Structure 1
């Protein structure tokens, strides 16, 4: 069977992260949503996404196809439903289409399909804040899936360990002279990851392949350091997708960083309003500030954005793609893509300069800043121009 992951109605509520990727490539838990589905389906997937992203993530359609809403994470019951979908059957959850089975070039009329209800309790990523608020459930599910029937590398005796049966260390990982408390959730240390001396870790935590936890870091779960990320200082209930750095002292809480982000030394974000009120954050779909239903909500930062030393972010701040923030005081709690500046004012961060930085940053991790990447960022620059004042 050919499986295709489509963005669905949640895509605009997941901006700025879906400016630069399909919904399927959001990381929550240990793996991205796509990696979860491919692991369990034992099959590759392709994507239906925005036209400007389709060159990098093309759709592959065969004679028969099962299309899956990528905002829904797999569970055993749901997975079984998907594998057993028959032609012209569709799975629904409330008002969302979850999955359906169709033929190549078929004109799909879902109202004429046999409609099934989604089975089991499922995790859906509908809003940006779901990425950190549902991260604990996702880590638990991924940990069970990835470690079932396997044995962890030995935990070195130099570590203080609580609930060792809830800790898994992959081959090549290094963990010495640390506190590993897995009583409140699993701790997963990926291939060739390093957790340096003096780190204090309380699960659930995923330190993915090649990631680095700096000396003396204090990390509270549920948190994820994606592949080749760096984590230092204090981190609480936050998700870093991949190749992003929060490498120094300072606080990051109830937050999500995309890829290729960098937080300068002593960067701090607020995750709680001083009147303890519900946090509102910028909603690209309504172009206004939306209720989150959360008392704790910190920073949402899109790919390639960076901030200088001593930057302070207010509660519920949203930073777009390729922004560069610096200076004293609190910047606005919505910073458009390709913005340059801080609380004293913003100007436009020209694409030529932004691309030069992206190329240097990616080369340091032996990654190419490709023509496809440039085209995507150029599209985002134009699409988001209405939010910039200059």
Structure 2
């Protein structure tokens, strides 16, 4: 069967992260949503997403296809129902379509002609940016079981202070000495060829993905994921780094999400709690205003390729777009549009020519080419987000 993950109605609520990727390629837990589905289904998937993303994320359509809403994370019950779908059947939950079996072209699908099957079980959904860190605890625990069941962990080094070691899994090539791993509050997953430097104290749930690094004396707690080839240091609480992003120095990052290719300068901090303890509001790309989150703790949402200089201070509930460069003293405003250059004293437009020069160098350092597909996506984002900048 050919499985296709589609963005669904949550796509715009997941900006700025979905400016540069389909919903399926958001990382939550240990794996991306796509990687989870492919593990459960034991096959590859493609995506229905925005047209400008389709060059990098092409859809493969066959005569028979099962379409899956990428906002929904897989579990055993849901996957079994999807595998048993027959032609012109659709699975719904609370009037939202989760999956359907179709032989029609995408524009011809009419759910009035489908047999509706109700999914009345619980499952994790990612429908808002803050869901990524808020539901990271549950997603990480599920991924830990998915990845480690029936597998053998590498030996925990003798110098490591391991609490509840049966809840710690170390992949081949990982390096760690003289660190404290407390898995009594949740599992700890240490990925292939990753490194935890001496003096670090980590409380689970925690995931360190392939090739990622924890710097000397780092403190981590509260369901944190460090994506592939990312680095963290200082104090990190309940945060997700998608991949290839760095928060490598002292400073606090809490209840936050960083996309790919982000860099947080030394001694930078974000607030995750308002002084008056009120509910945090976040910028909404859908309403072009600030929306209630229902959360008391909410930090920084930073899109791909964005960076900040040393000693940057982010207010509670700050949204930073794609390819921004933030620097200087004081608090920048709590919505920074994509391709902005500046700080608390004001912003100008970060022109693509200059931005792409930096992007090319940054990606080359990790052995990855900034190719025409990547450039086309960022050029589209530049134009799409122009209305929020004061050019």
**TM-score normalised to structure 2 length:** 0.99
1:68-83 to structure 2, matched below 5 A, reads: 68-83=68-83
**Counterpart for residue 292 of structure 1:** 293
Q: Residue 4 in 1 paired to residue 4 in 2? A: yes
Secondary structure of 1:151 counterpart = coil
**Counterpart for residue 346 of structure 1:** 347
> Structure 1 residues 204-213 or 114-123, which shifts more?
114-123
1:1-390 to structure 2, matched below 5 A, reads: 1-105=1-105, 107-390=108-391
Deviation at 1:101, TM superposition (A): 0.2
Deviation at 1:111, TM superposition (A): 1.7
Secondary structure of 1:362 counterpart = helix
The C-alpha deviation readout for 1:16-56, integer Å capped at 9, x for no partner, is 00000000000000000000001110111010000000111
> How large is the Cα RMSD of the aligned pairs?
0.7
Separation of aligned partners in 2, 1:143 and 1:300: 25
Deviation at 1:323, TM superposition (A): 0.3
Separation of aligned partners in 1, 2:105 and 2:294: 41
**Alpha carbons 1:301, 1:319 under 8 Å: kept:** yes
- Which structure 1 residue ranges, 4+ long, deviate > 4 Å from structure 2? none
The C-alpha deviation readout for 1:136-174, integer Å capped at 9, x for no partner, is 000000000000001100000101111101000000001
Separation of aligned partners in 1, 2:104 and 2:370: 34
Point out where structure 1 has 5 or more consecutive residues left out of the alignment: none
Deviation at 1:119, TM superposition (A): 4.5
Separation of aligned partners in 1, 2:14 and 2:364: 28
Separation of aligned partners in 2, 1:17 and 1:321: 8
Separation of aligned partners in 2, 1:314 and 1:336: 15
Secondary structure of 1:303 counterpart = coil
Separation of aligned partners in 2, 1:164 and 1:307: 37
Separation of aligned partners in 1, 2:359 and 2:97: 37
> Structure 1 residues 255-264 or 112-121, which shifts more?
112-121
Separation of aligned partners in 2, 1:119 and 1:194: 42
Deviation at 1:95, TM superposition (A): 2.6
**TM-score normalised to structure 1 length:** 0.99
Separation of aligned partners in 2, 1:191 and 1:119: 37
**Alpha carbons 2:93, 2:120 under 8 Å: kept:** no
Point out where structure 2 has 5 or more consecutive residues left out of the alignment: none
Separation of aligned partners in 1, 2:124 and 2:40: 16
